[in-house]
C-alpha cells in the first residue's frame, strides 16, 4: 500500500489480479466439497417446502421446479437444470463442477421437462425480485479508476446504492427479506425474497423497477431529471433517497471529494452551472479563478450551495421556486443514486448468479453484504478460493476457522433464519385454512 491510500484492485487481467492458486478446477472442486453451503442454499430456495415433509400444505416438488443454469469450462451453458432435493442438488454440482451457477424462476413444471410441455402450459410462477448494480454504469462519473480496476473510492458508489435501495424496498414497499450479494467482481446483486415480491407479475416487476429508476448514465449527464408531478414538493421517496445520497456525496471520504468531480480538468462543473444565471456563474468562476485558486471540490460545492440559497431567498415566480427546490439536489442524486440494470428486474424468468459461487476472473466468492455495515465491507478483502484452501489446510480442515465464516454466519442468522420463520408462519396459516394440523 502506498502513502496515497489503497491501490485499485484489478478485476480483469488474470496476470495482474490473481496468483496461479487463486482459481483453478482443482481449487473449485475443494471449494464445492468443503465450503459451498448447499444446505443453507436449499433451505433458502425451498422456502420450507421440504420434499420429504409429510404436511399437506407443503409443495413437495417446489424445489424441483426451480431452474438452475450451470456454466461449465469453455463457457458451455447448461440451461434447465433442476433437482428433486438437497442430495441431488449437491451431487449434480459436485459432478459437473460449474464455474458459475445461475438461479432462475420456479416454473409450473420441472425445467428438465420443458421440451415435453406445451409452451402455453410451461410458465414461471414465482421468482425473487432481483436487482443488478454494476460499476460499469458509473464509468462516466468515476475518476479514481478506469476500465477493470476497482478501489474503495469507487466502491462508495455501491455503498450508497445499497442503502438507498434498502430504504426504498423496506419503507416504500414493505419488504423484509432482502439479501445483498457481492458479485465477486465490481457489482452488487439484490434478492427480495418476500412472498409478495416472488409472486409479482412481469408488469408489476417493471413498475417497481421504473419507480426505483431516478437517474440514467451517459457522458455529460450531471443532473437527474426530478419531477414534481403537479405537486409543490418532490415525492417523499425522492426526498428520503436524497437524504441518503447527500450523506454519501458530502462526507469526508464521500463521492464529491474522493472523485474530485468539480476539478478544472473535468467537464462536470460547466454542466452543473448550466441552470445558474450568468451572474451566478460569474460569481463562482471569480471565486475559483481569483479568490481561491486551490479550492477543493468540497469548497466549490459549498460556494455553489451558498449561491443556490441566495437564489431561494429572492423574489421568484412559481416555476422558479420549483426549480430552486431541486437545484443541486438533482446533481447529488445524479452522482450518487443507484444505477439499476432494470432489464434484470423486469422479467420473472431472468437468470441471476447464485450467491456463494466463485467469480472465475477474480477467484472471489460472491458473499452476502450486510447493508447495515456497508463501511465494513471491502471487496479487496473478500476471500478467494485459493486463500480459503490455504486457511483450510492451516486449520486441519476446519471450515469454521476460515475467512468465509463471517459471511456464512450473516447469511444464516441475519437472513435465512428470519426468512424461515416467516415461511413457517405462512405455511401454518395455509394448512390451517385447509383444516390440516401439522408441525414444521
Which residues belong to the active site?
Answer: 67, 132, 134
* Residue (of 37, 15, 7, 29) closest to 385 by Cα position: 29
Q: How many CA atoms lie within 13 A of 251 on its CB side?
A: 14
Closest by CA to 113, choosing from 69, 148, 75, 65, is: 65
Burial class (CB in 10 A: 0-12, 13-18, 19+), 119: exposed
Cβ–Cβ < 8 Å for 130, 191 = yes
Query: Are the C-beta atoms of 434 and 58 separated by less than 8 Å?
Result: no
- Cα separation, 136 vs 152, in Å, equals 15
Long-range pairs of 77-82 with CB within 8 A, sequence gap ≥ 24: 79/111, 80/111, 80/112, 80/114, 81/111, 81/112, 82/110, 82/111, 82/112
Among residues 259, 265, 253, the alpha carbon closest in space to that of 331 is found at 259
Beta-bridge partners for 181:
189, 368
Phi-psi region of 266 (alpha: psi -120 to 50; beta: other; left: phi over 0): beta
Q: Please say whether the beta carbons of 48 and 429 come within 8 A.
A: no
DSSP letter string over 15-60?
Answer: HHH--GGGS-HHHHHHHHHHT--HHHHHHHHHTT--TT---TTS-T
Task: Judge contact between 162 and 197, C-beta under 8 A.
Answer: no
Amino acid at each position: 500500500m502506498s502513502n496515497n491510500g489503497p491501490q485499485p484492485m484489478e478485476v480483469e487481467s488474470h496476470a495482474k489480479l490473481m496468483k496461479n492458486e487463486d482459481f483453478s478446477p482443482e481449487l473449485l472442486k475443494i471449494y464445492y466439497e468443503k465450503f459451498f453451503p448447499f444446505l443453507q442454499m436449499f433451505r433458502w430456495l425451498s422456502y420450507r417446502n421440504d420434499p420429504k415433509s409429510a404436511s399437506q400444505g407443503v409443495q413437495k416438488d417446489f424445489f424441483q421446479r426451480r431452474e438452475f443454469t450451470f456454466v461449465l469450462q469453455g463457457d458451455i451453458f447448461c440451461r434447465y437444470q433442476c433437482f428433486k432435493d438437497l442430495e441431488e442438488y449437491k451431487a449434480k454440482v459436485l459432478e459437473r463442477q460449474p464455474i458459475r451457477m445461475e438461479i432462475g424462476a420456479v416454473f409450473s413444471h420441472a425445467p428438465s421437462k420443458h421440451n415435453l410441455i406445451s409452451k402455453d402450459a410451461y410458465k414461471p410462477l414465482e421468482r425473487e425480485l432481483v436487482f443488478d448494480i454494476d460499476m460499469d454504469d458509473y464509468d462516466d462519473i468515476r475518476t479514481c479508476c478506469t476500465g477493470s480496476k476497482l478501489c474503495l473510492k469507487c466502491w462508495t458508489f455501491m455503498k450508497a446504492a445499497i442503502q438507498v435501495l434498502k430504504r426504498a424496498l423496506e419503507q416504500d414497499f414493505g419488504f423484509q427479506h432482502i439479501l445483498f450479494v457481492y458479485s465477486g467482481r465490481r457489482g452488487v446483486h439484490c434478492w427480495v425474497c418476500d412472498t409478495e415480491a416472488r409472486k409479482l407479475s412481469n408488469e408489476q416487476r417493471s413498475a417497481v423497477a421504473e419507480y426505483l429508476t431516478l437517474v440514467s448514465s451517459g457522458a455529460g449527464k450531471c443532473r437527474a431529471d426530478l419531477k414534481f408531478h403537479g405537486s409543490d414538493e418532490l415525492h417523499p421517496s425522492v426526498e428520503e433517497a436524497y437524504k441518503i445520497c447527500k450523506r454519501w456525496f458530502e462526507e469526508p471520504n464521500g463521492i464529491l471529494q474522493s472523485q474530485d468531480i468539480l476539478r478544472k480538468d473535468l467537464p462536470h462543473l460547466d454542466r452543473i452551472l448550466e441552470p445558474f444565471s450568468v451572474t451566478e456563474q460569474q460569481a463562482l468562476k471569480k471565486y475559483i479563478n481569483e479568490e481561491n485558486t486551490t479550492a477543493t471540490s468540497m469548497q466549490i460545492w459549498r460556494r455553489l450551495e451558498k449561491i443556490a440559497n441566495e437564489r431561494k431567498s429572492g423574489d421568484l415566480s412559481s416555476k422558479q421556486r420549483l426549480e430552486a427546490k431541486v437545484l443541486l439536489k438533482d446533481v447529488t442524486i445524479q452522482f450518487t443514486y443507484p444505477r439499476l440494470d432494470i432489464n434484470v428486474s423486469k422479467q420473472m424468468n431472468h437468470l441471476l448468479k447464485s450467491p456463494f459461487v466463485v467469480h472465475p476472473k477474480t477467484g472471489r466468492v460472491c458473499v452476502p453484504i450486510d447493508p447495515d455495515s456497508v463501511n465494513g465491507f471491502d471487496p479487496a478483502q473478500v476471500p478467494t478460493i485459493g486463500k480459503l484452501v490455504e486457511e483450510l489446510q492451516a486449520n486441519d480442515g476446519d471450515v469454521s476457522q476460515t475467512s468465509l465464516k463471517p459471511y456464512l454466519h450473516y447469511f444464516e442468522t441475519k437472513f435465512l433464519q428470519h426468512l424461515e420463520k416467516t415461511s413457517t408462519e405462512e405455511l401454518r396459516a395455509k394448512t390451517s385454512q385447509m383444516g390440516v394440523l401439522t408441525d414444521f
